[in-house]
Structure 1
C-alpha cells in the first residue's frame, strides 16, 4: 500500500513510472485498486501460513 495515499482507493497514475505500468493502468484500472491488492495480499499470506505450517 506504499503508493496508495490514505484517502485514495487506488494507486494514482502519477505513482506509476514505467510505460508498461501506465499501459496496465489504462487496460485494467481495477488491477491497482486497494481492495484487489488487499485480496491478493491476504491470499499470499494464507499460502505462506499453509506452507510454514505444513
Structure 2
C-alpha cells in the first residue's frame, strides 16, 4: 500500500536525479520568478531607508 502511495514521487525523484541539468533549470526558473516578485518590494524598502536612489 505504501509503495503505491510513494510510487509517483519516487519516479519523479529518480527522473530528476538522473538529469542534473533539469534540476539546475528548475532552480534557475524559481530564482528568476522569486526575484521578479520580490524586487519591487526590496527596492521600495531600500528607498524608504535611504540606501537606494
Q: Which bracket does the TM-score occupy, shorter chain normalised?
A: 0.3 to 0.5
Give TM-score, length-normalised by structure 1. Answer: 0.45
- Please say which structure displays the higher CA radius of gyration: 2
Tell me which of the two structures has the higher relative contact order, counting C-alpha pairs closer than 8 angstroms and 6 or more residues apart.
Answer: 1
